[in-house]
Amino acid sequence: MSKKDKKEDIKSQETTQAQAETIDVEQQVVEEETLEEKLQEEIKQEKDKFLRLFAEFENYKRRTAKERMELFATASEDVMKTLLPVLDDFERALSHIDDDKEAEALRKGVLLIYQKLMNSLEQKGLVAIKVDKGAVFNADNHEAITQIPAQTEDLKGKIIDIIEKGYKLGDKVIRFPKVVIGQ
């Protein structure tokens, strides 16, 4: 082997080594790029998880706040429901006392107590549902106790009498008005 062949041999080995090193560097760059892409994908997934968890937590906070507000608004519902028969009794007593002319002082006293009780309950959110005789019956807003034959044709399907008032506590109906409708 001559010097020239040896030099060429060395050059070819160096070239091969340089090519191998270049290939190794390129493989490392490709591996780093794929590793970087994997890490970017993982970061994206973690961000997505975080955003979903954050949104879920915000929904939970909003839902519990709403439930708490509803609970406070209707916390006295049971008490109000138990007082409704007392209100009905007061109204019946007032209607019977009106007939008796000798019990004017009694009527005034019962009326004062009734008004004070109604004012106290209205301050707590109790509202009487307004129902007019002759209004069209609506099963969503009224409770029909019975049907009686209508005296005239235009009273059919309409409210003839109101047996018990209906009441709302805030926006929630706690007792529907009980009515008699024409048939």
The HSE-up count of residue 50 (CA atoms within 13 Å, CB side) is 6
What is the tally of structural domains in the chain?
3
Residues 95 and 138 in one domain: no
Burial label for 77, CB within 10 Å (0-12, 13-18, 19+), is middle
Rg of the chain taking only CA atoms, in angstroms? 42
- Domain extent at residue 141: 127-183
Pair (86, 102) in one structural domain: yes
pLDDT confidence of residue 114: 93
Residues 49 and 110 in one domain: no
Helical residues (DSSP H) of 75-103, grouped into ranges:
77-99
Tell me which of 41, 56, 75 is where a domain ends: 75
Tens place of pLDDT for every residue, the chain, 183 residues?
Answer: 566 666 666 676 667 776 667 777 777 777 778 888 889 999 999 999 999 999 999 999 999 999 988 787 667 888 889 999 999 999 988 888 877 777 788 888 889 999 999 999 999 889 999 998 888 888 888 999 989 888 888 888 889 999 999 999 888 899 999 999 988
Residue among 111, 107, 118 nearest 84 (CA)? 118
91 and 143: one domain?
Answer: no
Same domain, 6 and 68: yes
Q: Tell me, yes or no, whether 157 and 142 share the same domain.
A: yes
Give the global pTM: 0.60
